[in-house]
Amino acid sequence: MWSTWAFAFFALLVALLWPGTGVLARWRRRRVALGREQAENALKHLLSQSSAGHAASLASLQGALRASDRALLSLTERLEREGLIRTRGTEFRLTSEGERVALQVVRAHRLWELYLADELGVPVGQVHEKAERAEHHLSPVEVERLSAALGHPETDPHGDPIPGRDGEVIAPELTPLSAWPVGRPGRIVHLEDEPPLAYAQLAALGLRLGQVVHIVDATTTRLVLSDGENEYVLAPMLAGNVHVTAAAGVAAPAEPVLRLSDLPAGSLAEVVALDPGLRGFMRRRLLDLGFTPGARIRPDLTTFSGDPRAYRLRGTTIALRRDHSDRVLVRAVA
């Protein structure tokens, strides 16, 4: 009996104290991970406030982190000891080192968003929440490998600039659609993903990065946009979440450009371009298949449902689903 109890006690000690895999070791790792997550979220909040021209306070940190006063005081004291923030009265600001760390967290977040959207096909409206969790678990080496695998991209799926390895942020000059002149073509280069409900509305309307639009009509209650084929009606507040840049210099084609999916049966066309919003694996796959500017293409076979549809390209028959052929822009050839 004694030996049975002794064995059970020994097994319990092993389960609790075994290096690396014991309960105590796992609890310590979890505590360190939570501490890192809380600290990095605090630094991101200070960076966001600074970018908006504001200083963070205990109240704003509490709203962002949802932590108790005692926990926040302990956290800010720790960040100050580590030289990441400085306190001025009731306000908190980043030091240069704190800003560097915060930008690296933002870099990890936006690269992971792009990986989820372009490589795994996760809907863009869902990538932010997933990246919020993953950003704290990537080491600097893993972040650099991810950037290299993605081709060192400059923007995330929403058009936000991705900080460079050195923390440099190349932010293009953007104008909210609500302040854009009526009738002037503008290319959509950023769709704000906060709040999520507003982004979901923009996505539901069909607005996307790279799309060239112009304002047809603007009143105090609505903006009417057109991309030449479709019209979109937005409330001014929602239009403020769409940022554009000048689309001047985009030459109008001699013949109207249409989507490959809209090419009539029996028609011959040439590829003009791939939709600028198409990135990642599917873009590379279409380019590898020969969907490059100037390539001749024609519909070959159509299924009973019309989707997928087969096309003849460079001597090969290729089947494409509509959601992919929608992203290939062509011009009819006489």
- Per-residue pLDDT, 166: 84
Is the CATH code 3.90.1170.50 the one for domain 16-94? Answer: no
pLDDT of residue 248: 61
Residue 252: predicted pLDDT: 46
Does the domain at 257-333 match CATH 3.90.1150.10? Answer given as: no
**How far is the CA of 192 from the CAs of 30, 81, 164, in angstroms?**
33, 35, 20
The pLDDT of residue 36 is 82
List the chain pLDDT tens, one digit each, 334 residues: 556 666 555 555 555 555 656 545 454 656 655 778 888 888 998 998 888 788 888 888 888 888 888 888 888 899 999 999 898 888 899 999 999 999 999 999 999 998 888 888 788 888 888 998 889 888 889 999 999 888 888 888 888 899 998 888 877 788 999 899 988 888 888 898 888 888 888 888 888 888 888 888 888 888 898 887 788 999 989 999 999 988 765 544 445 678 888 888 888 999 988 876 677 778 888 888 889 888 999 988 776 677 788 999 888 899 888 888 888 888 888 7
Our CA dihedral for 134, 135, 140, 145, rounded to 10 degrees, sits at 60
The pLDDT, as a whole number, for residue 18 is: 58
> By C-alpha distance, which of 197, 200, 205, 209 is closest to 154?
209
State the CB neighbour count (10 A cutoff) for residue 127.
25
CA distances from 166 to 77, 104, 139 (A): 27, 9, 15
Give CA angle at 125 (222, 104), nearest 5°. Answer: 110
Sequence-ordered list of residues with C-beta below 8 angstroms from that of 307, at least 6 positions apart, any chain: 321, 322
- Please indicate whether the domains covering 16-94 and 257-333 agree at the CATH topology level: no
Q: Are 272 and 331 in contact (CB under 8 A)?
A: yes
User: pTM above 0.75?
Assistant: no
Question: What are the residue boundaries of the structural domains of the chain, listed by start?
Answer: 16-94, 175-246, 257-333
Provide the pLDDT for residue 29: 55
Tell me what pLDDT residue 307 has: 79
What is the spatial distance between Cα 218 and Cα 100, in angstroms, rounded to a whole number? 41
Under CATH, to which class is 175-246 assigned?
mainly beta
